[in-house]
Chains A and B, each alone.
Chain A
Amino acid sequence: ETGVTQSPTHLIKTRGQQVTLRCSSQSGHNTVSWYQQALGQGPQFIFQYYREEENGRGNFPPRFSGLQFPNYSSELNVNALELDDSALYLCASSLRDRSAGELFFGEGSRLTVL
Protein backbone atom coordinates (compact mmCIF):
# COMPACT_ATOMS: atom_id res chain seq x y z
CA GLU A 1 0.00 0.00 0.00
CA THR A 2 1.46 3.35 -1.06
CA GLY A 3 1.28 6.11 1.53
CA VAL A 4 0.74 9.83 1.03
CA THR A 5 3.61 11.49 -0.80
CA GLN A 6 4.27 15.21 -1.07
CA SER A 7 6.62 17.34 -3.14
CA PRO A 8 8.75 19.30 -2.84
CA THR A 9 9.93 18.57 0.69
CA HIS A 10 11.51 21.99 1.16
CA LEU A 11 11.37 25.23 -0.76
CA ILE A 12 12.23 28.88 -0.32
CA LYS A 13 10.27 31.72 -1.90
CA THR A 14 10.20 35.49 -1.56
CA ARG A 15 7.27 37.70 -0.66
CA GLY A 16 4.82 38.19 -3.49
CA GLN A 17 5.75 35.01 -5.32
CA GLN A 18 3.46 32.08 -5.98
CA VAL A 19 3.97 28.45 -4.96
CA THR A 20 2.46 25.09 -5.95
CA LEU A 21 2.68 22.08 -3.66
CA ARG A 22 1.76 18.59 -4.78
CA CYS A 23 0.29 15.54 -3.09
CA SER A 24 -0.42 11.96 -4.09
CA SER A 25 -3.02 10.35 -1.90
CA GLN A 26 -2.78 6.94 -0.31
CA SER A 27 -3.89 4.10 -2.58
CA GLY A 28 -7.66 3.72 -2.47
CA HIS A 29 -8.32 7.09 -0.82
CA ASN A 30 -10.59 9.53 -2.66
CA THR A 31 -10.45 12.60 -0.39
CA VAL A 32 -7.56 14.97 0.15
CA SER A 33 -7.23 17.61 2.85
CA TRP A 34 -4.58 20.29 3.28
CA TYR A 35 -3.33 21.63 6.60
CA GLN A 36 -0.92 24.40 7.54
CA GLN A 37 1.33 23.83 10.54
CA ALA A 38 3.21 26.84 11.88
CA LEU A 39 6.28 26.23 14.00
CA GLY A 40 5.34 24.99 17.47
CA GLN A 41 1.63 24.72 16.65
CA GLY A 42 -0.85 22.05 15.73
CA PRO A 43 -1.99 21.75 12.10
CA GLN A 44 -4.76 24.10 10.91
CA PHE A 45 -7.33 23.01 8.33
CA ILE A 46 -7.08 24.81 4.99
CA PHE A 47 -9.57 22.91 2.79
CA GLN A 48 -10.67 19.51 1.59
CA TYR A 49 -11.21 18.12 -1.91
CA TYR A 50 -13.55 15.34 -2.95
CA ARG A 51 -14.60 14.49 -6.50
CA GLU A 52 -12.34 17.25 -7.78
CA GLU A 53 -14.27 19.93 -5.90
CA GLU A 54 -13.52 21.90 -2.76
CA ASN A 55 -16.00 20.95 -0.05
CA GLY A 56 -15.01 22.80 3.05
CA ARG A 57 -12.56 25.59 3.81
CA GLY A 58 -11.00 26.79 7.03
CA ASN A 59 -10.10 30.37 7.89
CA PHE A 60 -7.76 30.98 4.95
CA PRO A 61 -7.99 33.73 2.30
CA PRO A 62 -8.82 33.09 -1.38
CA ARG A 63 -5.15 33.31 -2.38
CA PHE A 64 -4.98 29.76 -1.01
CA SER A 65 -6.50 27.55 -3.71
CA GLY A 66 -6.35 23.94 -4.73
CA LEU A 67 -7.11 21.30 -7.28
CA GLN A 68 -7.89 17.62 -7.20
CA PHE A 69 -7.29 15.45 -10.25
CA PRO A 70 -9.17 12.35 -11.47
CA ASN A 71 -6.51 10.10 -9.91
CA TYR A 72 -7.25 11.83 -6.56
CA SER A 73 -3.89 13.59 -6.41
CA SER A 74 -4.01 17.23 -5.42
CA GLU A 75 -2.25 20.58 -5.58
CA LEU A 76 -2.19 23.48 -3.17
CA ASN A 77 -1.48 26.89 -4.70
CA VAL A 78 -0.66 29.99 -2.71
CA ASN A 79 -0.49 33.36 -4.47
CA ALA A 80 1.06 36.61 -3.30
CA LEU A 81 3.11 34.91 -0.61
CA GLU A 82 3.46 36.64 2.76
CA LEU A 83 6.06 36.09 5.46
CA ASP A 84 3.43 34.45 7.69
CA ASP A 85 2.87 31.78 5.06
CA SER A 86 6.13 30.18 6.18
CA ALA A 87 5.04 26.82 7.58
CA LEU A 88 4.89 23.08 7.06
CA TYR A 89 2.08 22.25 4.62
CA LEU A 90 0.59 18.84 5.21
CA CYS A 91 -1.54 16.83 2.85
CA ALA A 92 -3.79 14.12 4.27
CA SER A 93 -5.85 11.55 2.47
CA SER A 94 -8.87 9.61 3.59
CA LEU A 95 -11.72 7.51 2.31
CA ARG A 96 -14.95 9.48 2.38
CA ASP A 97 -17.88 7.79 4.09
CA ARG A 98 -15.48 5.68 6.11
CA SER A 99 -14.93 6.06 9.86
CA ALA A 100 -14.98 9.73 10.68
CA GLY A 101 -11.78 11.69 10.91
CA GLU A 102 -9.09 9.10 10.23
CA LEU A 103 -6.64 11.07 8.15
CA PHE A 104 -3.32 9.78 6.91
CA PHE A 105 -0.69 12.48 6.51
CA GLY A 106 2.27 12.91 4.23
CA GLU A 107 5.62 14.16 5.47
CA GLY A 108 4.82 17.70 4.44
CA SER A 109 6.35 20.48 2.36
CA ARG A 110 8.26 23.03 4.38
CA LEU A 111 7.85 26.49 2.86
CA THR A 112 10.06 29.40 3.87
CA VAL A 113 9.06 32.87 2.67
CA LEU A 114 11.78 35.52 2.81
Chain B
Amino acid sequence: GQQLNQSPQSMFIQEGEDVSMNCTSSSIFNTWLWYKQDPGEGPVLLIALYKAGELTSNGRLTAQFGITRKDSFLNISASIPSDVGIYFCAGSQVLQGAQKLVFGQGTRLTINP
Protein backbone atom coordinates (compact mmCIF):
# COMPACT_ATOMS: atom_id res chain seq x y z
CA GLY B 1 0.00 0.00 0.00
CA GLN B 2 0.86 3.66 -0.12
CA GLN B 3 3.66 4.61 2.25
CA LEU B 4 5.80 7.52 3.16
CA ASN B 5 9.58 7.25 2.81
CA GLN B 6 11.14 8.05 6.14
CA SER B 7 14.86 8.45 6.75
CA PRO B 8 17.08 7.52 8.34
CA GLN B 9 15.70 4.14 9.47
CA SER B 10 17.80 4.30 12.63
CA MET B 11 20.06 6.72 14.44
CA PHE B 12 22.63 6.21 17.16
CA ILE B 13 23.65 9.47 18.84
CA GLN B 14 25.22 10.83 21.99
CA GLU B 15 23.12 12.52 24.63
CA GLY B 16 22.99 16.24 23.98
CA GLU B 17 23.28 15.98 20.21
CA ASP B 18 20.70 17.39 17.83
CA VAL B 19 18.65 15.01 15.69
CA SER B 20 17.12 15.48 12.26
CA MET B 21 14.84 13.11 10.37
CA ASN B 22 12.65 13.54 7.32
CA CYS B 23 9.81 12.12 5.38
CA THR B 24 8.91 12.26 1.68
CA SER B 25 5.97 11.14 -0.39
CA SER B 26 4.93 10.97 -4.02
CA SER B 27 1.46 12.15 -2.95
CA ILE B 28 0.29 15.47 -1.56
CA PHE B 29 -1.05 15.57 1.97
CA ASN B 30 -3.03 18.39 3.54
CA THR B 31 -1.79 17.61 7.03
CA TRP B 32 1.50 16.15 8.25
CA LEU B 33 1.91 14.72 11.71
CA TRP B 34 4.78 13.38 13.76
CA TYR B 35 4.25 10.62 16.34
CA LYS B 36 6.56 8.91 18.84
CA GLN B 37 6.08 5.31 19.90
CA ASP B 38 7.70 3.72 22.94
CA PRO B 39 7.97 -0.08 23.32
CA GLY B 40 4.65 -1.69 24.18
CA GLU B 41 2.68 1.50 23.71
CA GLY B 42 0.68 3.24 21.04
CA PRO B 43 1.95 6.23 19.05
CA VAL B 44 1.75 9.61 20.81
CA LEU B 45 1.15 12.76 18.78
CA LEU B 46 4.06 15.21 18.94
CA ILE B 47 3.35 17.85 16.32
CA ALA B 48 0.67 18.47 13.68
CA LEU B 49 1.28 20.70 10.62
CA TYR B 50 -1.60 22.12 8.59
CA LYS B 51 -0.15 24.57 6.07
CA ALA B 52 2.53 24.22 3.43
CA GLY B 53 5.68 25.94 4.64
CA GLU B 54 4.50 25.92 8.25
CA LEU B 55 7.21 25.65 10.89
CA THR B 56 6.00 24.53 14.32
CA SER B 57 7.79 23.95 17.61
CA ASN B 58 6.89 21.91 20.67
CA GLY B 59 9.59 22.36 23.30
CA ARG B 60 12.81 20.93 21.89
CA LEU B 61 11.00 19.60 18.82
CA THR B 62 10.64 21.55 15.59
CA ALA B 63 8.86 20.32 12.48
CA GLN B 64 8.21 21.81 9.06
CA PHE B 65 5.61 21.11 6.39
CA GLY B 66 7.30 21.22 2.99
CA ILE B 67 6.21 23.80 0.41
CA THR B 68 5.30 21.08 -2.08
CA ARG B 69 3.16 19.34 0.59
CA LYS B 70 5.08 16.15 -0.19
CA ASP B 71 7.63 16.25 2.59
CA SER B 72 8.29 17.14 6.21
CA PHE B 73 11.17 17.11 8.66
CA LEU B 74 11.46 16.81 12.42
CA ASN B 75 14.35 18.17 14.47
CA ILE B 76 15.07 17.40 18.10
CA SER B 77 17.55 19.66 19.86
CA ALA B 78 19.78 18.70 22.79
CA SER B 79 18.60 15.09 22.95
CA ILE B 80 17.96 13.46 26.33
CA PRO B 81 17.52 9.77 27.26
CA SER B 82 13.71 9.93 27.22
CA ASP B 83 13.83 10.85 23.51
CA VAL B 84 14.64 7.20 22.79
CA GLY B 85 11.92 5.54 20.75
CA ILE B 86 10.53 5.21 17.25
CA TYR B 87 9.41 8.34 15.45
CA PHE B 88 6.77 8.11 12.72
CA CYS B 89 5.73 10.68 10.21
CA ALA B 90 2.16 10.48 8.92
CA GLY B 91 0.21 12.19 6.18
CA SER B 92 -3.51 12.72 6.49
CA GLN B 93 -5.89 12.10 3.62
CA VAL B 94 -9.59 11.49 3.09
CA LEU B 95 -10.64 8.02 1.93
CA GLN B 96 -14.32 7.36 1.26
CA GLY B 97 -15.20 10.07 3.74
CA ALA B 98 -12.83 8.79 6.41
CA GLN B 99 -9.84 10.72 7.66
CA LYS B 100 -7.00 8.23 7.45
CA LEU B 101 -3.30 8.47 8.20
CA VAL B 102 -0.58 7.03 5.99
CA PHE B 103 2.53 6.29 8.06
CA GLY B 104 6.21 6.09 7.28
CA GLN B 105 8.29 3.10 8.32
CA GLY B 106 9.68 4.91 11.36
CA THR B 107 13.05 6.18 12.57
CA ARG B 108 14.44 4.33 15.58
CA LEU B 109 16.41 6.68 17.82
CA THR B 110 18.98 5.28 20.23
CA ILE B 111 20.91 7.55 22.60
CA ASN B 112 24.21 6.71 24.22
CA PRO B 113 24.56 8.39 27.59
Contact = CB atoms under 8 A, between A and B. Distances in A.
A-B residue pairs, 4 tightest by C-beta: A56-B98, A101-B92, A42-B103, A105-B42
A13 interface: no
Interface string A97-110: 00111111111100
B1 A43 contact: no
Contacts of B43: 43, 90, 105
Nearest to B6: A42
B14 interface: no
Contact of A59 (B1, B48, B96, B97): B1
Contacts of A43: 43, 88, 101, 103
Contacts of A108: 41-42
Nearest to B91: A101
Nearest to B106: A42
Interface string B80-102: 00000000101010011111111
Interface residues of B, number: 31
A45 B97 contact: no
Q: Which of A47, A101, A107 has the most CB of B within 10 A?
A: A101
Contacts of A101: 31, 33, 48, 90, 92, 99, 101
A58 B1 contact: yes
Contact of B96 (A57, A102, A106): A57
B3 interface: yes
Contacts of A50: 98
A46 B12 CA distance: 33
